A and B are shown apart, each in its own frame.
Chain A
């Protein structure tokens, strides 16, 4: 009983950080954009961590789920723009479609690719991401390589002013909610049978199987959950913030790599890791682009290599070790 009462305490620091980000952005002028960017990276990290961190499988095609989420929102907005008076219902439908698309794709990919392990899985997921992009372009699905631009439709549905307020303010609040939700789901999983099963399979998949754990089921649960959050992030941060979608952009592998860096930087498989990783990555990217424009990647790449070599456990992974068995330790997981 005593252990159970503190089960969800680690969420306190997570929510506190998100609250601080919101308050800083809302009250200090000129800070909103930076805070919105940090929230985006934290949400991306939280979402990816559910799969990458908890299973140890490297999904190199993760951005595809953000991509189809973006398309889910885009298709809803363009398809429903003719109907008068739907208003915000269209946006809600868009998010539902984003989750449907990303869930459907992740079920299809998961059923196929999750049979593979290690490097084979990573290569297969790259293949899915690129293949899906070229299918959209080649067969001219959803306008093919011309993409979709739906600024006019969005303005028509919501009115110009509301649409602009949505893009510059409310979308970021939605991303904050998604990030907090993803963190909550992470902790719920960690504290349930799912989390223990995933830990077992991450350490030794064959042993976990022999012990009677249905590894396939738990891998797919983590994969689909993680993917549907990615779909939501895509629908909010990409489709609503910048109302257009082009296949080469929303399937760009660099976003997957950014997400991997965030998870690894913070500490894979920890609750606070993606938050720490998102903040460190977002802040350094932002300030490097101000002080050393054009050289961000040149500076980033060797730093990333150094971090992987020297601190493979990530920031939170190290802090967690340090504070184990102390009063603070129960908040840091």
Chain B
């Protein structure tokens, strides 16, 4: 009985994990290229959720189709914040970029609150369910997971098969060397930041498929914290590492929840969160390059 429940929850964890992974790739991309930790990460996921909500409620666009729109919004926001703030802080101390990205997150939250209000909202997108025997999976979640995998593959191809992608990879390897070879390093930084934010806002669309009525201006904080754990699992600087980190995290989260729920007298949800932060600390200490060997 418990094994069946565990297996069912692990399947759900894997599906959620794919979306977690996709929702962390932007964070890792930005850290990998610019060495900036985007503490406002979750706020960008929230923006994506509101893009989905708005497109669905006012134009009737299916949530999965909101991904390109959210990606475009993210690119624009990324370029905007890069040029007004991040660019000027790259040479400064960590403190400056951490506080700046946190403030950007707060600014987004307050703007969205001003536009949409702060109550919890959601939408209803019925596309059926699929029965796997051990668990029942809504099709919307399956679409979200498949969308995540597709985006991860597209990102991989873009990085490895296009000139712009190679340019960014060369900047990561050696920014001086890249400059000498004629790569526009400034543009590579700007577009990496924009791409990272674009991916993050797009992931906000997929995240909404798991929280039918959990859309709120302040929903992002929890995702920022989860994204940190996932990014660290994947080595912090590698978007693909982050994707696999997400899969691992989804499994760990659902698996440990199922097991903690067996202990009487504790709050399994809180213990699951505690467990995830212990993983974060242990990995930072013994293997800061992440679980995969990472590049």
Contacts and interface: CB of A to CB of B under 8 A. Distances in A.
Nearest to B36: A119
Most buried by B among A116, A135, A144, A260: A135
Contacts of A261: 99
Nearest to A123: B228
A58 B277 contact: no
B197 interface: no
Contacts of B225: 126, 130
B232 interface: yes
B213 interface: no
A138 B35 contact: no
B221 to A, nearest CB: 8
A58 B103 contact: no
Nearest to A256: B102
B15 interface: no
A42 to B, nearest CB: 19
B94 A118 contact: yes
A270 B173 CA distance: 37
Most buried by A among B31, B103, B272: B103
A305 B100 contact: yes
Given A140-B266, A305-B104, A116 B288 contact: yes
A119 B281 contact: no
A151 interface: no
A50 to B, nearest CB: 15
A134 B260 CA distance: 13
A153 interface: no
A298 to B, nearest CB: 4
B281 A124 contact: yes
Interface in A126-141: 126-128, 130-131, 134-135, 137-140
B98 A305 contact: no
Interface in B261-295: 265-274, 277-278, 280-281, 284-285, 288
Contact of B266 (A60, A112, A138, A312): A138
Interface stretch (B6-14, B105-113, B163-171): B105-113
A145 B236 CA distance: 31
Q: Is the interface on chain B under 10, 10 to 19, 20 to 34, or 35 or more residues? A: 35 or more
B257 to A, nearest CB: 11
Contact of A144 (B88, B95, B221, B267): B267
A202 B99 CA distance: 18
Contacts of B93: 56
B98 A138 contact: no
B89 A123 contact: no
Contacts of B92: 312
B245 to A, nearest CB: 13
A301 interface: yes
A145 B267 CA distance: 9
A262 B85 CA distance: 19
A112 B99 contact: no
A174 to B, nearest CB: 29
B270 A308 contact: no
A122 interface: yes
B228 to A, nearest CB: 5
A224 interface: no
Contacts of A123: 37, 228, 232, 236, 280, 284
Interface in B78-97: 84-85, 88-89, 92-96
A76 B109 CA distance: 39
Contacts of A257: 99, 102
Interface in A98-130: 112-113, 115-116, 118-120, 122-124, 126-128, 130
Given A260-B98, A302-B103, A305-B103, 10 more contacts: A56-B95, A119-B35, A123-B280, A138-B267, A260-B95, A261-B99, A304-B100, A304-B103, A305-B84, A308-B99
13 contacts: A115-B285, A119-B31, A131-B280, A138-B268, A138-B273, A138-B274, A140-B266, A298-B110, A301-B104, A301-B110, A302-B103, A305-B100, A312-B92
Give the 10 A-B residue pairs with the shortest CB-CB distance, closest first.
Answer: A131-B277, A138-B271, A138-B270, A137-B270, A301-B107, A134-B274, A298-B110, A134-B273, A127-B280, A301-B106
